[in-house]
Structure formats: structure tokens, C-alpha cells
Structure 1
Amino acid sequence: MFENLSQYKNFKAKRISSYDKTGGNADRWVIDAQSSRTIADIEGPGKISHIWCTIFGKWGEEDKREFDTYSLRKVLIRMYWDDEKEPSVDCPIGDFFGLGHARAYSYQCAFFNTSCNDSIEGTINPRIAMNCWIPMPFRKKARIEVVNEQDINIIIYFYVDYQEHKEISTDTLYFHAQWKREKPVAIKDNGGVNLTDKNNYLILEAFGKGHYIGTNMSIDNTEGNWWGEGDDMIFVDRDNDDKWPPDLHGTGSEDYLCHAWGMQKVSHLYSGQPWCEYNEYGNTHHNKGKVCVYRYHVIDPIPFKKSIRVSIEHGHANDRGDDISSVAYWYQDEPHTVFVKMIPAEKRIPEERR
């Protein structure tokens, strides 16, 4: 991380932010209800190096402020590279920064950190600082759009820090991130044996040349007992050949997430569980209710030349029907396969059962 810090950097550091151009302190932009706004439109070649932002609802006197508690799921962040018409990043803003289930919680890892007041830790609340340090290079242009799919206006404070370069090398790939949600059907009649990824939860399927750099997952444990026995499976460059076994086959969800004997409340550089709904840490397999986990392949990316398919079982041999959502992160060449259309805001809201 620090080995090249002393070397001269041959780029120009730049920033786009929401600062008040009148010299005042209203350092925020408004995004109207059911509308979108481009917060950054940058000419290349260059590289986005850091994004900070925080959002809130209708602003005014303290007793007149109004916000939608589910803003972290109802507000989207989209990114477009060069002249593409379809986004390379399409996620609820909270999930993009690793905040699942529209919850606010503080954590830190290699790619992201977030920070909120202790009084709202773990609650459904958008008043949280969100940071991303994933490098995002581009050749011609970069555009970041924030989409407000709520019925009230929002305000956003933001920095987009980037670098102006003279050129971007020909082997440089483009950053992508995609959110999805599914409540898969539990399979109870396979005798506890699974020799295919056909019925797994699909984290990522991409075509082209690139490398997978990880995922965060938000799991709503609707069945109440231990959820983490589902194996991870990754097929690389198979050309429609699903011959068993996959190129990478894991031994369980907690193992893919670099944990053991259940999940622990930790936020490490490359893996962690920064939040869970029920803190029964005296019980090895305590994870009832909602959990948020991540695994980032920073020093162990998984390259592909033609295609990649990343999936994970929902329970051992897919014997569970939990509510799962995820963000997959990867780099690849363009053009990429157009993403499935984002589901409506009301279908992104987590189910609350307490």
C-alpha cells in the first residue's frame, strides 16, 4: 500500500464537490423527488480515486426536516464510462458502499469506510458518511449520476476526487458494480447433494476480459437457524461448458467470507461482518435476522479471458430460502453485457419482521 508513496506522481489531482459557489455554507445539492442529477461529468483520460458522500431528506428548521428512512435503498448511484448509454455501475447507494438492508453502521475495509453517530448505529437511517477508494479509470469520459426514487427531495453532500492523466494504458480495464436481490426457492428433495450451480444464488455472470474483485451480501435469515453452509462456486472461461467441478469450489459461506465456527462482528481489510441484527455472539452459529457481510479480492483477484460465473449456495445444497441481495464488483473491458433492469424502489425495501 505504501511502497510507492514516495515516488513522484505524474498526474494532476482534481475534485468535483457540492461546495457552495457563492462562498456560503450551503455545501449541498438538491435532487428533486423522482428525478436524477449528474454529480460528476469528467473529461478523460483520468481516474476517479475517491468518492465521499452523504444524503438526507427535505432540509429546513430542525423540527421541519423530513427524510425517508429507506433512502439508502431508494436512492441509486450509477456510473458511465466514455460514451456508453447503459451504466457500468447500478446500485442502491447504501449497498454500493457496503451498507446492507438500508442500515447505518460504521465500518472500515480496503475499499470502503462508513461513519455514523453511535445513536443511530444499526438503525434504518441515511445520516451516514460513505467513502469509496476503488480506482475507476476512464479514457474519454466519466459520469456519475444519483437517482432519487423517493417521493421527497433529497440533499447530497459529495466529493469526487480524480486524477487527470495524459493517457491510460491499453491494458487498463473499467470498473463495474451490479446489485441484485432474490429470494431463492429452498430445495429439500436432493438428498443433501449438489453437483451443479444451476440453483445457486448468482452473484455475477460477466462476459469479456477482466477480473472479479469481490462482493458484499445482505442476507435476511428468514428461516431462523444457521444460514452459512452454502458453498461458493466460480466457473471461469467455460464456453458454455458446465463440466464439474468449477474452477474454484469452496466449503461454506462463512469460509468464503474468511470466518470459521460461525460469523463474528469484525471489519477486516478483505472480509468481514460489520453488522448483524441479533448479537448473540455467545452462540457459535448465532446469526438470526439480518446480516451484512463482504469478501473483497484485493490481492487475490480472479481473472477471466472470456467469461466468469460466481455463485453461492443458499444453505447446504440450496436447502434454504433466505432473502438475499448482493453487489458484485469487477473490472472488465467494454462493452459489457447490459444489466438487468433495476427493480422498483418498493421492491428493494427490506422486509421488517420485528
Structure 2
Amino acid sequence: MSNLSGMFKDLTKVKKARNGRFASWDQRGMNQDYWEIPAGESITIGEVEGPGCITHIWMTSSCRKVKAPSILDPELNANAAPVMEIHPALGVIWDDYDPFYYRKVLIKITWDDQDTPSVLAPFGDFFCIGNSYPGNFSSLPFNVSLKPEEAGRYGAPCSVSCYFPMPFNKKAKFEIINQNELPFILYFNIDYEMYKEPLDDDTAYFHASWNRQNPCDGWGADLQVNSPEVNTVTNLKGDGNYVVLNTEGTGHYVGCNLTVKHFQGSWWGEGNDMFFIDGEEYPSLNGTGTEDYFNHAWGMQRNSFPFFGTIVHEGDTDGFQVSYRFHLTDPVRFEKSLKVTIEHGHSNHLSDDWSSTAYWYQTLPTVKPLSILPVEDRLPVVPILPERITPKVELTTEQKNARESYLKRWENYEPVRQEQFRIKENKARRESKMNTEFAKKLREDYK
């Protein structure tokens, strides 16, 4: 019996396993190492037979609409390095970036022979991008890496990683559902291990689910936070609390990310967390405030740590906060059911916009099928600028000719660029099948 202990003790043992990977690499051997997932379409980015375990997910993405004719040749540019498609140079191309695509695209993961997914969440929120607004942060299970010049804007391209282990006994299937009206660019590496022996019967499977309440049902959003009138109202059973997770089965909750858009202009974090384990009427785990649940105090600070922290601080946005808390050393166990809730303001008096992604492990089957709001109900609430009216100017002959020439060039450019989109979309469909076929061969060779 080994006396070794510690977080990385598995690295000191040789194990029987074979590595595999789903990736968007250009299987023609060229450098177009991304997939362009068509609008309104679902694509399987990888499917493999078990037993096995997903060990790491890395992705980066973008989404844009062509707004005007580039001065670059549309066919030549389509086969060049796609830097222009991610970060356009000034005056070279003019694309209309979708600021909310992180909420319009879904990630869906199904384990074994289930007919319902165990992971269903907006692409961004799964990777802790709240409100489609990425922020640099580093935790143990999730990381987001954002270039400084991209910070502070909705829909900014970034890289995302997930290190939660995701075991499966019979099959793992990863799908991306693009519910946008625009194509979705995705680079990805999904690393996994294959095993020859079946997993133990008590193996807990990774789950993730997204929820939103906009607005929360507050009874006194016009009343000052921390006022004596509000603070003397009781809430012992969690009636009306925001629900982070409500699941049935046997397993353990390992954390969440939470996005709160606050409207009153005071403070949103006075609500207590309440955990209801195995159907109890009163919560057996009671907290002392939302910021306390996220291991902060006296408000939220601008920091991120392995288990908890701030991703986007409300002082740096138009009034919303994105936070995370992972129960990696203190998972919340349940045998029959678990309901994780937080008050939105003390005794639920505030009517803010709350959204969250919960992460947990449980044995199969996934008893309560996961559902998600339609795309129009997932979009962030953002300030709307007043309409800008441009002056009408009487054109000279030369100016008229310039405008007519511009429109003529657009007539020629736009269909060619659209054709390149269709070519890339077909490449994604083709390589989707190739990824699954390659994984199947790899699995057959390792049995």
C-alpha cells in the first residue's frame, strides 16, 4: 500500500490508458484549423466509445457578419491565416461582430446510452463567461484568457479551458448547437483517455446546467437594501429564492458561476445561500450573504483564486457582476435530491437579473431532463444608446460615382464571400464525421 498523498499523487503511478483527442485541426493538412458551424445547425464535434474520461477542453471562438466589401480578395483571404477574421485590421475588413453569440450557441454533452444530455448550457456561461462578457480569470477547473485590447466588450474573442474530469462508460458525445443567424467559428481540442476495463458501478458523471430568472420576483425592489424594514422580514424556508440547481439522484454538487445584473443601484448581495438536501423542508446549510458564499466579504473584490473569486467586477461594467465558487474540497453530497438556492436580496426583495451555471456529479441516469430557455430569453440586458441621425448631404458627381462604385464592388464581393462561408461549413460537416470515425478506429485498436 502506497503512503503517497497529495493533489498530484496520480502522476506518480503508471496507469493503463490510451490518449485520444477531438480537434478542429485541418484534416487536409492545411492551416484552416477551425470549424465554421452553420447558422441554425447542430454539429457533433466528437463522439467516442468508452470506457474513458474527458481530461481537458480548450476552445476559442468568434462570430461575425460581413458588413462591407473588404479590400482583400475574398477567395485568397479565405485560405490565409484567419487572424483577420478574429481581429480585423483598421480599414482592411469591416465585419459586424455579434456581441451576444456566447449566449446564442449551446454546448451539449451526452453520456453513455442516455437519450437526454447531462450538460446543456450556453457556450459562454459553461466556461464562466457571464452576460457574453469575457473576463480574464484563473481557477482550478476553468480558465479564460483574454487579450488586453479585447477587454471590456461584449462578445470579445478569448480562449477558454475546462479541467473537470468527465468519465464515461459506454459513450461520450459532444455537440455544438448554433442557434444564431450567423455562422460560428470554433477552434477546439478535447483531450480524453480510454481504458480497457469498465468503470466502477458507483462512478459519478459530470453534469452542468444553466438557469436564468429575469427579473427575479422581488417584493420590494424600490426599498433600500439593508434598511430595517427589509431586514426584519423572515425567510426560513427559502420561498422565492433563486434556484442554482434542482436535481434528483445520488451525487455531489461542485460549484457554480453566477451573473447578477443589478438595477436598483445599491447592493445586490445581501441574500443568503440555502441548500436543501434529500428533500428537506428547511435548508440544512444556511449562508450569511451572497458575497460570503463566494468567499468574499463587504462586497466583491477584484480577484480570482483556485476555488473562488470575481471574473468581472460590477464596478468595471454597466452594473453586473460575474463570480464563481467551486466546491472541489468540500462538495455538497446528496443521496436523493439537492436544491441549491440563493436569496436575491434579503428575503428576496430585489428584482434583478440572475443567471448561473451549476456543476455537479451524479450517477446515471440523469433523472430530471435538462432544459434551457429559448435564445431570445438568454440575451443580456444592456444599455441602449439613442438612435443617431446622420445629416443628409448633397452629393457631387464625384461623390455619387464613389458610392455607386462601392455598391457595385459589394455586389461582386458579397456572394463570393458567402460562398467561402458555405465551403467552410461543409468542411466542418465533413470533419465532424471524420472525428467520430477516427475516434472509433482508435477505440477499436485499444481494446
- TM-score, length-normalised on structure 2? 0.74
Offset, 1:275 = 0.8
Q: Identify the structure with the greater strand proportion.
A: 1
Measure the CA separation in 1 of the matches of 2:40 and 2:185: 13
Aligned match for 2:163, one of 133, 136, 140:
133
2: CA distance, partners of 1:160 / 1:340:
23
Q: Is 1:209 matched up with 2:250? A: yes
Q: Which residue of 1 aligns with 2:210?
A: 179
Q: 2:100 aligns with which of 48, 70, 84?
A: 70
| Helix, strand or coil at the partner of 1:27 | coil
Q: CA RMSD in A?
A: 1.7
Q: Identity of counterpart residues, as a percentage?
A: 41
Secondary structure, aligned partner of 1:320: coil
Helix, strand or coil for the counterpart of 1:152? coil
2:275 match: 234
1:7, 1:104 → 2: CA distance?
A: 38
Taking a change above 3 Å as real, the CA distance of residues 141 and 251 of structure 1, as seen in their structure-2 partners, is: same
Relative to structure 2, which stretch is displaced further, 341-350 or 307-316?
Answer: 341-350
Aligned residues: 343
Higher helix fraction (1 or 2): 2
Any residues of structure 2 matched to 1:159-198 within 5 Å, and which? 159-166=189-196, 167-182=198-213, 183-188=215-220, 191-198=232-239
**Could you say what secondary structure the match of 1:267 adopts?**
coil
Provide the residue aligned with 2:287 in structure 1: 250
CA contact (8 A) 1:179 1:327 kept: yes
Instruction: Report the Cα distance in structure 2 between the residues aligned to 1:290 and 1:337, rounded to whole angstroms.
Output: 33
Partner of 1:284: none
Any conservation in 2 of the 1:122–1:275 contact (CA below 8 Å)?
no
CA shift at 1:68, angstroms? 1.6
Contact 2:116 2:366 in 1 (8 A): no
Q: Is structure 2 residue 31 aligned with structure 1 residue 25?
A: yes
**2:102 match: secondary structure:** helix
Give the Cα separation in 2 of the matches to 1:10 and 1:275.
Answer: 41
Which is worse superposed, 67-76 or 333-342? 333-342
1:233-312 alignment runs, 5 A limit = 233-238=274-279, 241-242=280-281, 244=282, 246-279=283-316, 289-312=319-342
Distance 2:115 2:103 in 1: 23
Structure-1 residue corresponding to 2:174: 144
Letter of the 2:285 counterpart: L
Q: 1:66 to 1:24 in 2, by over 3 A?
A: farther
Amino acid corresponding to residue 172 of structure 1 in structure 2: T
Distance 1:212 1:298 in 2: 9
Match of 1:56 among 51, 59, 62: 62
How far apart are 1:161 and its partner, in Å?
A: 0.1
Q: Is the 8 A contact 1:68 1:150 kept in 2?
A: no
Amino acid of the residue matched to residue 218 of structure 2? Answer: A
Deviation (angstroms), 1:154: 1.4
Aligned residue identity for 1:268? F
Contact 2:271–2:289, Cα closer than 8 Å, also in 1 = yes
Distance in 1 between residues matched to 2:318 and 2:239, nearest whole Å:
27
Deviates more, 1:306-315 or 1:333-342: 333-342
Contact 1:53 1:157 in 2 (8 A): yes
> Structure 1 residues 340 and 13, CA, compared in 2 at 3 Å: closer, same or farther?
closer
Q: Distance in 2 between matches of 1:251 and 1:40?
A: 43
For 1:283, the equivalent position in structure 2 comes to none
Give the secondary structure class of the aligned counterpart of 1:233: strand
Query: Structure 1 length as normaliser, TM-score?
Result: 0.93
Give the SS at the match of 2:315: coil
Instruction: Note the C-alpha offset of 1:67.
Output: 3.5
Pairwise CA distance, 1:64: 5.2
CA distance in 2, matches of 1:72, 1:216: 15
Query: CA separation in 1, counterparts of 2:10 and 2:54?
Result: 18
Q: Aligned to 2:253, what secondary structure does the other structure show?
A: strand
Cα-to-partner distance string for 1:305-336 (whole Å, 9 max, x where unaligned): 11111100001111111100000110111222
Which consecutive unaligned segments of at least 5 residues does structure 1 have? 280-286
Cα distance in 1 between the residues matched to 2:10 and 2:63: 41
Alignment deviations for residues 271-298 of structure 1 (CA, whole Å, 9 cap, x no partner) = 111212424xxxxxxx971100011100
Mapped pair 1:80 → 2:86: no
Matches within 5 A, 1:81-100: 81-100=111-130
State the 1:3 CA deviation: 2.7
- Give the Cα separation in 1 of the matches to 2:169 and 2:362: 14
Q: Which runs of 5+ in 2 are unaligned?
A: 1-6, 67-73, 78-83, 85-92, 221-228, 385-447
CA offsets 1:327-351 (integer angstroms, 9 cap, x no match): 0110111222344532121211111
Contact 1:89–1:177, Cα closer than 8 Å, also in 2: yes
For residues 197 and 337 of structure 1, the distance between their equivalents in structure 2, rounded to whole angstroms, comes to 23
